[in-house]
Amino acid sequence: MNRRYRKPMIAGNWKMNLTPSETRSFAEAFKPLLSKPRLCEVALCVPFIDIPAALKACKGGRIAIGAQNMHELSSGAYTGEVSAQMLRDLGVKYVIIGHSERRQYYNETDATVNKKVLAALEAGLRPIVCVGESLEQRQFGVTLEWITCQVKAALYGVPQDKLRRVVIAYEPLWAIGTGQTATAEQAGQVCNAIRTLIRRLYDAKTARSATILYGGSMNEKNAAELLAQPDIDGGLIGGASLKPEALSKIVQAANQE
Ligand code: 13P
């Protein structure tokens, strides 16, 4: 983490967990655990149905609320879908786009991810774009090529002035929900490659200020070591973000570094 140019960020991805009433209880337990002053941006990306409860419970607590997905169009006959405009109107700040679970189970492609990134920015949301390689890709030695393709495709058509609103999360598929974290060096190397790519696609200033997170079995025990890597600006936390104590300790680690 390089504090000179970037603010650390810890975002929870609750996935399909916690009901609206559990969301209220979580916020009540979590808020008092956050130290003041806090340098780190904290966001909770919750299921759609929990968003109103999360916004209400976190009001005034400097905890931003995010969604986990959105449709790429602003309105229309798309039963069951939610648009960026709807999320923005509620007061949502972030939206996770292209999580590997959505790519895997809901056939999201690089092309849909790109459309969603552009639509999120257009609506005033900050996209958290997820990229990551499979175990096979890592074993074949094509990790950096794969990540380069994913990042390039996701950012296609994103103008320089909007890039600072984009967060990129490197989440190796083999580390998600497995308890097998990437080593700090592995994670740091890929995050560094992403920053180098942004420098190539945009410029040095844009790359310096880009927020790049690591995600994949990050928890209160390994957070400090991962966050010590110069190009890792924070974390996207799954399982550990469901426990107020654990999440607050990760925030503390990001605050201290
Ligand atoms: P875990 O922290 O449970 O491995 O999940 C990571 C993740 O997918 C966050 O988006």
Residue 234 amino acid letter = G
CA distances from 75 to 61, 121, 129, 226 (A): 32, 16, 22, 40
Q: Which has the closest alpha carbon to 254: 38, 70, 108?
A: 38
Buried b (16+ CB within 10 A) or exposed e, 201-239: bbeeebbeebbbbbbbbbbbebbbbbbebebbbbbbbbb
> What is the rounded (10 degree) CA torsion for 219, 178, 15, 44?
10
Catalytic-residue membership of 225: no
> What is the atom index within ligand 1 of the atom nearest the CA of 179?
4
For residue 77, the CA-to-ligand 1 centroid distance in Å is 32
Lowest mean pLDDT among 37-46, 164-173, 192-201: 37-46
Least confident of 30-39, 73-82, 229-238: 30-39
41, 101, 171, 257: which one is catalytic?
171
Active site residue 71: no
Write out residues with Cβ below 6 Å of ligand 1.
13, 99, 171, 176-177, 215-218, 236-240
Q: Report pLDDT digits (tens) over 182-200.
A: 899 999 999 999 999 999 9
For ligand 1, atom 1, which residue shows the shortest CA distance? 238
Q: Look over the chain and give the mean of its residue pLDDT values, rounded to a whole number.
A: 96
- CA 214 to ligand 1 centroid distance, Å: 9
9-20 per-position pLDDT tens digit: 999 999 999 999
| Ligand 1 atom nearest to CA at 96 | 10
- Is residue 215 over pLDDT 90? yes
For the cut 60, the answer to whether the pLDDT of residue 23 exceeds it is yes
Please name the amino acid found at residue 19: T
pLDDT of residue 257: 55
CB 128 within 8 A of CB 236: yes
Atom of ligand 1 nearest to the CA of 241: 2
* Whole-angstrom distance, CA of residue 209 vs CA of residue 194: 12
Q: Is it the case that residue 239 has pLDDT exceeding 80?
A: yes
CA distances in angstroms from 114 to 20, 69, 121, listed in the order given: 30, 13, 11
Share of the chain above pLDDT 90, in %: 91
Q: List, for residues 58-111, the tens digit of each pLDDT value.
A: 998 889 999 999 999 999 999 999 999 999 999 999 999 999 999 999 999 999
Give distance in angstroms: CA of 98 to centre of ligand 1.
13
Q: How much distance in Å is there from the Cα of 99 to the middle of ligand 1?
A: 10
Atom of ligand 1 nearest to the CA of 217: 4
pTM, to two decimals:
0.97
What is the DSSP track for the chain? --TTT---EEEEE--S---HHHHHHHHHHHGGGS-SS--SEEEEE--GGGHHHHHHHHTTTTEEEEES--BSSSSSS-TT--BHHHHHHHT--EEEES-HHHHHHS---HHHHHHHHHHHHHHT-EEEEEE---HHHHHHT-HHHHHHHHHHHHTTT--HHHHTT-EEEE--GGGTTTS-PPPHHHHHHHHHHHHHHHHHHS-HHHHHH-EEEEESS--TTTHHHHHTSTT--EEEESGGGGSHHHHHHHHHHHHH-
Ligand 1 atom with the shortest distance to the CA of 236:
9
pLDDT of residue 210: 97
Using most ligand atoms within 8 A of CB, pick from 10, 167, 236 the residue to mutate for ligand 1: 236
Output the CA 203–ligand 1 centroid distance in Å: 30
CA 21 to chain centre: 24
Q: How far is the CA of 76 from the centre of ligand 1 (A)?
A: 32
- Catalytic pick among 99, 108, 133, 220: 99
